[in-house]
Structure 1
Amino acid sequence: MDVKLHDIGEGMHEAEILHYFVKKGERVKHDAPLVEIQTDKMTAELTAPSDGIVDEIHFELGEVVEVGTTILTLMTEQKESPAEEKPTMPSWKVNKPVQQVTAEALPVNRAMASPHTRRIAREQEVDIEKITGSGPAGRVLDEDIYSFLDRQKESVLGLEEAVPEQQPLSKGKEQPAVKTIPFKGRRKQIARKMTQSLYTAPHVTHFDEVDMTDLLNLKSQLKQGTARQDGRTISVTAFFIKALQLCLKEFPIFNSKLDEEKEEIQLEPFYHIGLATGTEEGLIVPVIKHVEQKSMTEIHREMKELTKRAVENKLSSHEIRGGTFTISNVGPMGSTGATPILNYPEAGLMAFHKTKKMPVVIEDEIVIRQMMNLTLTFDHRVADGSPAVAFTNRFIHYIEHPHLMLVELI
């Protein structure tokens, strides 16, 4: 029985082999983990489709395989009735005798842990089977790995103190070695996707600025008004997302995807907003589905939860699929402008940059206002500069007059 790489996410074409949980000749049970893979967006495990014995492992760790490719092969056991004539032996059984599996080879009491926790253990060169889990039913957690490492450090602390400090090398005797970073996994997948986007869709980026003063005042008022109740607050990004959804409804061309084979532009009937999120392993884009059906509070809550799960590498395939438009809020990091690459095949991406107090002329008077730069990147095959400017102006109007959003929600 072939165990193939199947599509576990929209647009997935290939994945990297990260880790095998089994060895050739090992007996496995139905639904037991076989191999861990890394796509451009997530880490996942492939499990055994039935009981059997691992016959062949076709790829080495670090290799990239395409969807539909057989990763490993299982020999499945077939029960026969004594009255029935034995069928002809399959070729793989004729050519390859069933391997003898000793009790030591069986995966007895395999430690329970998530793919993320197993990856931490491998990176730290820790045998996860030796760790006692503190989670439900003895599940090994990330904290258990780090506690184990701390205990190891403490056990060798005395030895380290006894070793005399080494003198630095004299100049000219030996040059420091060049450090390298593996170009694989999510980083490599991101590179491929960005290259595909940049060389497929002609990018145009429109720059503008927006007065954030009234929106920040409204946010502050809402926070003060709810603090006495349950401490709820609504982030500025939640307002951005709702304003964008309203603008996309008015300018549906930016909520579309171009199908070149069918020669048609598909205008999406719903609004799924992706959140560009930076993690230690690279950029990932969780998606808030059906923004048009959600309140500000719901958007805020779901945004926080998705961002947290993204950083912890716990997103499911459903949570990263189906985006129709993407936002990137890089302002908190100090950005003043950028030309982002589209989250292909989406047609638009808006980035929000640093907000700072600036002198602004209003009705011939100089006043201090909270100003923010923003950029709209769009696919020039489906939209032109004029609708891009109009779309951005409409977004600015909602942000500078936030009460209009509230009227739209009634």
Structure 2
Amino acid sequence: MEVKLHDIGEGMTEATVLNYLVKKGDHVKADQPLVEVQTDKMVAEIPAPAAGIIQDILVPEGETISVGTTILTLETKSSPLAETPSSQPNVATESTRPFAIKEEETVSVKRTIKRRVLASPYTRKIARKHGVDLEQVVGTGPGGRITDDDVYRFIETNNTKQTNHSSIAGSDVEAQSFEKVGDNSQSSSIIPFHGRRKQIAKKMAQSLYTIPHCTHFEEVDVTELIRFREELKQQNFHISATAFFIKALSLALKQFPIFNSKLDEEREVIHLKQEHHIGIAVDTKEGLIVPVVKHVECKSLREIHEEAKHLTKKAQENKLTLQEMTGSTFTISNVGPLGGSIGATPIINYPEVALMAFHKTKKRPVVMENDEIAVRSIMNISMSFDHRVADGATAVAFTNYFVRLIENPKLMLMELV
């Protein structure tokens, strides 16, 4: 039986084989995880379609394959090969089993038996990154499952041993960590280019080469928003600035639905989406990932705040489901809290039409309408849009509407009536 890479989620065309959880000759049960693969959105496990024996592994780890490619072959129990005694090692019969087993044979059999390691894909990735053999780690989770903390505890315990060996093997490790480049005898470190990093690169290139990007920059006075949030905190309502941004964007998208659309070039039509599914770009250790807050147009500020907070946490822990990462119609990137950037030219999350980035907020002297100078909190925004679908004047009108709501946050209440 062939075990193939199937379509794990919408729009998926390929994936990278990360790690095999079995080896050739292993007996597996139905639905037992066989291999981990990395799509452009998540790490997923391919389970066994039936019980049987791993016959052959066809794709090496680290290779990117397309949907439909056979990853490995499985000899199922219903087949003649799986039922023959030769395919069932360590099973004795009266005709084949000797009356006594030599001690060295017993030791050999014990060494070939490997326990089934229970661990999440993210825990396995931590172990691989630090060169930890999970079979040596004691799991403290339910059913002996190995947790992230178990791996880090194992690493910390072995730090002393590694330090003792480092002085002896330091030169060897250094030689293995670097590779000579060209003929000038200079060295450079190597970073593997696969998994999520490679998928991000492919998607960014697809977006940039497909969409004629145009970026509009604007300033937003968030002084009143900061005051309003403080008022809400005094009433025990904790709402993030991101939640206000998302809600204001949803209200703006109602007025300018062209930025909540999808271009179908083959049919020569633009689909205007009624639902506002806002993607939130989140920076993680494994790279950029975009969880999605669904149906923002129907949710309150508190609901948006709670859901965005929950999804961001899951993204940073690499625990998002496919449902939580697909279907976005507009994406935001809030880089302000990272402490840098006064502007950028963000790349659109293809096949969406626009993306808005929020940058660092700074206090600046501002000339008010009465010509008085006041210190205000000013934030820059960058909005990239698909120039095939919308023009600059429309983008300016859209951002102006958004700015109006953020600079006068209580106006949102009127929009919600």
TM-score normalised over the length of structure 1: 0.88
**How many residue pairs get matched?**
383
Please say if 1:151 is aligned against 2:157: yes
RMSD between aligned alpha carbons?
A: 2.4
CA distance in 2, matches of 1:157, 1:378: 52
Deviation at 1:109, TM superposition (A): 4.1
Q: Are the aligned partners of 1:120 and 1:145 in contact in 2 as well (CA < 8 Å)? A: yes
- In structure 1, the partner of 2:180 is none
The one of 305, 313, 317 equivalent to 1:312 is 317
* Mapping for residues 187-198 of structure 1, pairs under 5 Å: 187-198=197-208
Q: Are the aligned partners of 1:331 and 1:353 in contact in 2 as well (CA < 8 Å)? A: yes
The one of 285, 288, 293 equivalent to 1:283 is 288
- In structure 1, the partner of 2:357 is 351
2:132 partner SS: coil
Deviation at 1:176, TM superposition (A): 6.7
Please say if 1:303 is aligned against 2:308: yes
- In structure 2, the partner of 1:171 is none
Measured against aligned partners, the alpha-carbon deviations of 1:218-260 in whole angstroms (never above 9, x if no partner) come to 001101111xxxxx41010100000000111111100001111
2:189 partner SS: coil
1:257 partner SS: strand
Distance 1:113 1:203, change over 3 A: same
1:355 partner SS: strand
Measured against aligned partners, the alpha-carbon deviations of 1:262-312 in whole angstroms (never above 9, x if no partner) come to 211111110000001111221111100111121111111111111111111
2:303 partner SS: helix
Deviation at 1:367, TM superposition (A): 1.2
- In structure 2, the partner of 1:43 is 43
Deviation at 1:159, TM superposition (A): 6.8
- In structure 1, the partner of 2:381 is 374
Identity of aligned residues (%): 58
Please say if 1:399 is aligned against 2:406: yes
User: Structure 1: which 5+ residue stretches go unaligned?
Assistant: 80-88, 167-173, 227-231
CA distance in 1, matches of 2:342, 2:357: 10
Measured against aligned partners, the alpha-carbon deviations of 1:328-361 in whole angstroms (never above 9, x if no partner) come to 0111222100000000000010011111111111
CA distance in 2, matches of 1:165, 1:206: 52
* Mapping for residues 193-232 of structure 1, pairs under 5 Å: 193-226=203-236, 232=237
Distance 1:137 1:130, change over 3 A: same
CA distance in 1, matches of 2:272, 2:162: 62
CA distance in 2, matches of 1:15, 1:106: 31
User: Structure 2: which 5+ residue stretches go unaligned?
Assistant: 91-108, 172-183
CA distance in 2, matches of 1:134, 1:407: 53
- In structure 2, the partner of 1:65 is 65
The one of 111, 129, 134 equivalent to 2:135 is 129
Q: Which amino acid aligns with 2:333?
A: S
Deviation at 1:70, TM superposition (A): 1.4
CA distance in 2, matches of 1:98, 1:273: 57
CA distance in 2, matches of 1:127, 1:99: 30
- In structure 1, the partner of 2:196 is 186
CA distance in 1, matches of 2:169, 2:276: 63
TM-score normalised over the length of structure 2: 0.87
* Mapping for residues 84-99 of structure 1, pairs under 5 Å: none
- In structure 2, the partner of 1:84 is none
1:8 partner SS: coil
1:62 partner SS: coil
2:71 partner SS: strand
The one of 97, 118, 122 equivalent to 2:124 is 118
- In structure 1, the partner of 2:24 is 24
CA distance in 2, matches of 1:288, 1:107: 46
Q: Which amino acid aligns with 1:405?
A: M
- In structure 2, the partner of 1:389 is 396
